[in-house]
Amino acid sequence: MSSDDEVRTEVRAWLAAHWDPAADRTAWAAAVVDAGYAVPRWPAAAFGRELAEDQARIVEAEFARAGAPGSGQDRTNLWANTLLTYGTAGLRGRLLRPLLENRVRMCLLYSEPSAGSDLAGVRTTAVLDGDEYVVDGQKVWTSNAAGADYGMLLARTDAGVPKHRGLGFFFLPMAQPGVEVRPLRQITGEAHFNEVFLTGARVPAENLLGAPGEGWRVLQTALAYERVALGQANLGASTRANGRGETDLVELARRHGRADDVLLRRDIARVHALRAVNRWTNQRAQAQLEQGSSSPLASLGKLAMSRIVHETGRVQSAIVGAEALLEGPAHPDGDDANFASMNAYFTSIGGGTDQIQRNIIGERLLGLPREPEVDRDVPFRDVRHSP
């Protein structure tokens, strides 16, 4: 086994020999996968290096120091992690490497008009027909659906058992006649979300992840990876489609002559402290995921990031002052502050609402009593539904 210093030296040497910021990103992604640095914790048979957590972090740190992308996907790539854990050998063989090289576009087909917070209540059906499932139903709040190659689909395969059973989790091909995507316009003017109508769509039985009827178990793992990724990323208040990226609150305060404002300095320090604590929480959650547990700590990180992005938006508005009432390219700081305040709600909803995260934290971390579920043991076909 190599020492930490040997791993660090090896990664630095490899980056010095191969990394070129002007290089083709497709070729670079393939090179990172070939070297085992995309997923350093994974087994060698799955493009990894079987490194322990501390040494995998060294790999990621060296990539970050060099400004090179592609490493650490064994923590952040929810598609590939879910596929590796539950996918059939054939599906892994077809899609695992393309997912790591970002050559496959994905979306999440979970929420429905009557099943958002309670995903166990999904009514989209998947009926086995030979070696394929036929899918009918509707999904909503689906990011990136219009350009996706596959959707991770949660659908009901058996209505004769209670709602948490009889579910299937699939990689559904999106480019087929039975899939219709309609965009949903957000308050920010963007359209990240879509509603998806499934009418006689087909998915190969080989694309079922996990055993038949155990889709809920697969979903919990996928959600945990998604929450770790969302909890680690600075999504929401400070990231937008205009290419300006995350706002540096310290630099913003200096630019507006507010760097000596004691209250603003306190608020900026609070945001930075929250980010640091959340980073540590997500590291603990990732360690539990690697041991095969769908860690409730991921919900704590997800809820914390929601608070962080709302707080970031509030502080941005406080720094720019009256300019926060303005928007458009003539007022970039005010425009960003407006966007931050409005888009923060995306993080409070996407990946499970703040309220759902609080329920998970209360029940699984704090040991509080579970909320009553009168339909938990009732066959799904007998559960009362709203019209």
Catalytic residues, which ones?
Answer: 226
Q: Bridge partners of 292? A: none
Q: Which residues of 180-214 are buried (b: 16+ CB within 10 A; e: fewer)?
A: ebeeeeeebebebbbbbebeebbbbbebbbbeebb
CA distances from 155 to 121, 164, 207, 238, 274 (A): 10, 11, 13, 34, 37
Half-sphere exposure of 345 (CA within 13 A, CB side): 7
CA distances from 357 to 133, 153, 365 (A): 32, 21, 11
Alpha carbon 51 to its chain centroid, in Å, reads 23
Beta strands at 106-109 and 150-156: parallel, antiparallel or unpaired: parallel
Residue 170 — left, alpha, or beta (φ > 0 → left; ψ -120 to 50 → alpha)?
beta
